[in-house]
Amino acid sequence: MNPGNLPIAYVEAAEEVHNLTGPPRSCPLGVTNDVRERALRLAREVFTGGLAAAVSGGQSRTTPPPRPHQLNAVANLLEAVYRDGGAPEPINYLLQHSTGSGKSFTIAALAVALVGWGDCAGGRVGMVLVLNDRLQLDRQLGSCVEAFWTGNGRPLASLRRASTTAELSGFLSAPWGAASRPEVVLTTVQKLATLWRAGGGRVRAAAGNGDAGQ
């Protein structure tokens, strides 16, 4: 779904990001030539640490190198987030996965890589919500994200599972920088939708300090 007919950047396997024509952007930091290189380097680092941890945790039997389309998907989206940071309206992105494409590991790598990633307007991603529409998938994908998170040296305390709507509301409303505010939240679409309805079409979250937000 694309609220407000905002432009979408499609990220497909082994393809470049395609940005549809949108409103003019303001990038005080500029778009430097090393953005792609930094995005690819971070993607490789995240996959290396994450896949090794996934083997130790039983999510994978072997430690295969990330497939080219997995690296490209993560790097493409990181690059798009950086370049689109100056857009006056939020930009939506779509990653399309086929069966057997390694989507769980790609999603886990992307969640880890996005936290702290900056954009050309000086903002940073402060929280990532990983949503599923079924509890079993929530548990399975959550285990992958947890393995990638800890495998990249991130503290487990900053990754939380919201098992109730009240917990999700508490995580989102916690002040920025507070110990009670996680950097990654694992939950279901249904819980977020419940908050959306309760808020009259809005999800109340703590105001950021120049961060890119969730």
* Domain edges within the chain: 3-126+136-154
pLDDT at 2: 36
- pLDDT of 212 strictly over 60: no
Q: Which two tokens stand for residue 151?
A: 């495998």
Query: Span 18-24, mean pLDDT?
Result: 40
Share of the chain above pLDDT 90, in %: 45
More confident residue, 62 or 123: 123
Using one digit for the tens of pLDDT, what is the confidence trace for 169-184? Answer: 999 999 888 888 999 9
pTM check: above 0.85: no
More confident residue, 12 or 92: 92
Query: Span 112-129, mean pLDDT?
Result: 91
- pLDDT of 126 strictly over 90: no
pLDDT level of residue 95 (50, 70, 90 thresholds)? confident
Using one digit for the tens of pLDDT, what is the confidence trace for 135-192? Answer: 777 788 899 999 999 999 999 999 999 999 999 999 999 988 888 899 999 999 999 9
pLDDT level of residue 97 (50, 70, 90 thresholds)? confident
pLDDT at 12: 33
